[in-house]
Amino acid sequence: MMLPNVVVGGGIVGLAVAKALQELDPGRDTESTGRVDYRKVATALADEVGARGGP
């Protein structure tokens, strides 16, 4: 079963935004390896948008 393009597109946009946030704030959500967990950042961003009543 294939995911709708909207879901896939939203995931790509979420990861791009998460990466941009990481570049602005390098200490945000890093793992012990020093790598960023973009899924955590994207989830936090989605929660924030949802809390504000956004799309």
Whole-number Å distance between alpha carbons of 22 and 29: 8
Could you tell me the pTM of the whole model? 0.34
Query: Residue 37's closest CA among 53, 10, 14?
Result: 14
Query: Residue 25's closest CA among 44, 9, 8?
Result: 44
pLDDT above 70 covers what percent of the chain?
A: 45
pLDDT tens for each residue of 29-55: 545 556 667 777 778 777 777 766 655
Residue predicted with more confidence, 8 or 43: 43
Find the DSSP H helices in the chain: 5-24, 38-51
Asked whether the predicted pLDDT for residue 8 surpasses 70, the reply is: no
Where does the pLDDT of residue 1 fall: very low under 50, low under 70, confident under 90, or very high at 90 and above? very low
Q: How many residues does the chain have?
A: 55
